[in-house]
A and B are shown apart, each in its own frame.
Chain A
Amino acid sequence: MNKIWLIIQREYITRVRKKSFLVISLLAPLLVALTTVGIAKFSSSSEADVVAVHDESGLNLAARLQDTDELHFVPAAPGPLATAQAAFTKAKPKQEALLHIPAGFTLDSMQGIQVLGKGNVALKRQLNIRKAVTKAVSELKMARSGIKQETIDDLQAKVELSAINLDEVGGKRNDAGTTTGIAYALSILVYMFIFIYGVQVMRGVSEEKSNRIMEVMISSVKPFQFMMGKILGIAGVVLTQFALWLVLSWGLTSVVAPLLLKDDKPVAATTTGTAVTSAAPTSAAQSGPAATPSPTASTSADALAEAPRPGRAFGVWSVLGELPIGSILGGFLFFFLGGYLLYSSLFAAIGSAVDDQTDAQQFMFPVTIPLILSYIASIMVIINGDPNGPLAFWLSMIPLTSPIAMVMRLPFGVPAWQLALSGTLLVLGFIGTTWVAARIYRVGILMYGKKVTYKELSKWMFYKG
């Protein structure tokens, strides 16, 4: 036992001392802080898109179009379309789109409306404009059918919803946007950390084989002790990194924000979502050639679109306070550790079986596929679907996918029995993979020059000690 502790210490200290560790530890939170603040600044300065309206229909739709949170309508330059277009391109402040209502547009044949923009008009913008125009046209139709303007105004329903989470004592108000953002952030952290640090375990084992220190080590400690010492030592590094990130992100944001944000403009609450996903590429740099695929860019943007915007106080952190952050963090740590132990033991086995990194690729494939798939599937099922539905349930139970799936479900609330079941299965899972990996490891570490196939690996499992 004592020897495992020595190995854990050595693995931990040599990695934590490295410059790259310190740089990443500081860089990521800095990025988080800057991005959070940057987004805040941006959204406060450019609230709504400016849309110029060029109305040839004679219906005077321009007057009817109401500004919304996203859109601010202004009349286009008078004259034919060509003039309006020219003015639009040169307009200051910048106009995002030119709404052209043609002469042939009537309330009965509502055809021909165009939205002109520089480059492709964003889908979201198109949808918003369509909504606004539809609303204006409906009102005109109502007016035409005799309903008086006051009645029309009275009919406007601008309802505010607040969502209450019954599971929480007192029924805390929850914010779907932030919850989604947290779910994203945590699950991508799990994915990233398992991948990056699992590969580090593999590299470490591979290095010890190739620089030949392996034989001396194995005459001093049992192979199992050596393997676990390395895995646990690196687990310590990950936890330290995560803790540092958490603390520094909080600290840096609180410091940077007052400095850079002069006015009190409220800010979108899901900035953590983008901020952390943007941190993903920097950590991918640390993992070197085995680059982490991060298929998150477009999907996180959609999550942001859903988020309610102004009206919330600045400070993602204060919103976080309304979530059961303790149990979410606890769950995150448990499932992350379980997933890490499961996958890193497999990575250790790969490292022991091959003589150099290129051979490792063929074995990495079946190990990383469940990891990647679980991330993609979880996003589709949990965030865009039903966090408590059957598919989500199964994904969060199977040990290979549960680390990511369950962590993604946590912010939405998971019944205790499901957590317990999934947790137990995960523990059994990593005990199983560790056992298999240890049997492969103890043979592989002293095996050089042999062409390794899956068949060979399975033979190794049954070699005597």
Chain B
Amino acid sequence: MPFGARPLRPGGGGGYFYFTTTYYSLFLMQKTTAAPILEVREVRKQYAAHTALDGVSLAVPEQSIFGLLGPNGAGKTSLIRIITQITGADSGKVLFRGEKLNASHIGQIGYLPEERGLYKKMKVGEQLLYLAQLRDLSRADATQRIKRWLDRLELKPWAEKNVEDLSKGMQQKVQFIATVLHEPKLIILDEPFSGFDPINANLIKDEILALRDQGATIIFSTHRMESVEELCDSIALINKSRKVLDGPVTAIKNQFKTNTYELEGKGRLMLTHPDFEVLEQKERENGHFFVRVQLHAGATPNDLLRFAMTQIEVQAFRERIPSINEIFIRRVGETMPGSLVENVNA
């Protein structure tokens, strides 16, 4: 092509078309590989006799629900306290939306600590206003939102009562409102469900999802693995002041897959095949059975299915995806109270 000659494009408007598609695909790329809302880089925290955090790094994607997991004493609370600016890291960086974490970010972060409480002798509405104003929310906005939230969580008749007059569950709901009232971009919840009965826990769970859908990012520290399964998009596992695992939940689960499958059907199954290792076998009423099988290298699920079909009537066949609980236990190697019950699908 001679220099300066341009290839013909269909019509003058084509130029704009080219421009917008390029820009749009750039935009799409931006969305999927967005800068994380929070970045923790090589953070260290040392107390007198004990290292709480030993070079922990992680990145929390924007508009996601991020699970921060780990046994007691792992360093989760220390990390949370650094993010919420209660304490400072000894070394390393924390970046909030690309900026070094500083006091101006307080209005964009909400925090619900594990050990929580409110002023007992202060009225509900008044206290919510006070806490919101301390998070840089204007009085007018706060008043309006307080009405909305109290209504939504069925606390309207309690607005003028002292906090000590409310039941524990109601107090917890008030505290939750205080955490999210200023519409923070990043919400940190430490064991949010502790102290809630199942109905209110469900209420809070729905609120968390709604908040995420409205653009907030939620970091959620907990021992309750069922809630993690239900809610989290990505997780990080901290043990003994180090990060041992992090990433999107599906990716992690895939990582921990053990090539195990579950079969349910009618009849009696005799799996005496070198490719298949029976991990668990149960007989149920009416001649039904359940079996969990690990495939050895080279075997495919279809192989198993084909084999089984010759013996029994197959009613269900699925891959056994490890639960977060199992992954946690495997990685941490400790037993966690109350979370050993495996959710075996009936």
Contact = CB atoms under 8 A, between A and B. Distances in A.
Which secondary structure characterizes the binding site on chain B? loop
A14 B122 CA distance: 8
- Chain B contact-residue range equals 20 to 34
Contact of B118 (A7, A211, A219, A221): A211
A216 interface: yes
A447 B169 CA distance: 26
B96 interface: no
Contact of B86 (A212, A213, A218): A218
Contacts of A213: 116-119
A464 B120 CA distance: 32
A36 B239 CA distance: 72
A219 B119 contact: no
B130 A10 contact: yes
A220 interface: yes
Interface in B81-104: 84-88, 90, 103
A130 interface: no
A6 B119 contact: no
B247 to A, nearest CB: 28
A418 to B, nearest CB: 43
Contact of A219 (B85, B90, B115, B130): B85
Nearest to A217: B134
Given A215-B113, A446-B86, A464-B88, A220 B134 contact: yes
Given A14-B121, A216-B112, 18 more contacts: A6-B130, A6-B134, A7-B134, A208-B119, A211-B120, A212-B116, A213-B116, A213-B118, A215-B86, A216-B116, A216-B131, A216-B178, A219-B84, A219-B85, A220-B134, A220-B135, A464-B90, A465-B88
A464 B130 CA distance: 29
Interface of B: 48, 84-88, 90, 103, 106, 109, 111-113, 115-122, 130-131, 133-135, 175, 178
B133 A219 contact: no
Contact of A6 (B84, B88, B113, B133): B133
Interface in A446-465: 446, 459, 464-465
A177 to B, nearest CB: 45
B87 A216 contact: no
Interface in A1-55: 3, 6-7, 10, 14
Given A6-B134, A14-B122, A220-B135, A215 B116 contact: yes
Nearest to B80: A219
B134 A3 contact: yes
Determine which residue in B109, B112, B119, B175 has the highest number of CB atoms from chain A within 10 A of its CB, and name it. Answer: B119
A220 B127 CA distance: 14
Interface string A204-241: 00001001110111111110000000000000000000
A446 to B, nearest CB: 7
A208 B120 CA distance: 10
A220 B106 contact: yes
